[in-house]
Amino acid sequence: MRSYLRVRADHVEEVTGEVVREQPLTVYVNGDRFLTLLCSPMKLEALVVGYLWMEKVIQALDDVAGVSVSPVDGRADVTLRGPVELPTERILTSGCGGGITFRIDHRLFPRLHSGVRVQPRDVSQRMKELFAAAVHYKESRGIHGAALADERRLLVVAEDVGRHNAVDKVKGEALLRGIPTEDRILLSTGRVSSEMLLKAARMGVPVVASRTSPTEMAVALAEQLNVTICGYVRPDSLNVYAGSAVALTAGIGAPGE
């Protein structure tokens, strides 16, 4: 909790409230320093595991012998069951705070083949549930939420100052809890950029939905990888930018019609 001044018209008052928390977390893999993430200090084990999986450092949770996270020291030590060659060609992403990825080449991702079909009302309802579950957003605003869902309910919810971190936390928690991510819906409160779309494809997620917009590159990648991407999801409306996994009602054409 912090004290700050609230100015409304000509009135100034001192108030106390939550302010978004952010900290560096340096990740070591088998004793070697890998990288430093700027993140919100919650679900840090899920963040580390999810990030390593996204970057193909690990293929499954069984590859991990142990994870030790010290939020006080800002350090995470990961011990793998075998040696690994850490990627080194870093790419600065468009994520909040300037995210880092090593595996942005879409050719590394197979085209998805999924029979999932979801109703627009289900996508809208899951987005509403994400906002209801985003407790840190309610307290401080200025933080992103992400969730893994099916047509009926949310399965995993995560929040972070970086929207890409929130997605990594979703995957990490799914790994830790043994929840498959294939054929699910990935929800985000933030913009869907190219690296976020690739994270979804890596997870085997055929439907990505955002409260805001996708980037043009994300839409192009969604078309290539057979991912349905929705934006501006509201209680009674949404935009479908690519894909056919959202069952459009009569009178509403698919993209390009």
CB 188 within 8 A of CB 146: yes
The amino acid present at 155, given as its one-letter code, is L
96 in active site: yes
Q: What is the DSSP string of the chain?
A: -EEEEEEETTEEEEEEE-----EEEEEEETTEEEEEEEE-SSSHHHHHHHHHHHTTS-SSGGGEEEEEEETTTTEEEEEESS--------EE-SSTT--EES---GGGSPPP-----B-HHHHHHHHHHHHHH-HHHHHH-S-EEEEEE-SS-EEEEEEESSHHHHHHHHHHHHHHHT---TT-EEEESS-B-HHHHHHHHHHT-SEEEESS-B-HHHHHHHHHHT-EEEEEEETTEEEEEE-S-B-PPTT-PPTT-
What is d(CA 122, CA 172) in angstroms, rounded to the nearest whole number? 24
The token pair at 85 is 């060659």
Strand order, beta sheet including 154-160: 154-160, 144-149, 185-188, 207-210, 228-234, 237-242
Which of 96, 100, 147, 246 is an active site residue? 96
Active site residues: 96
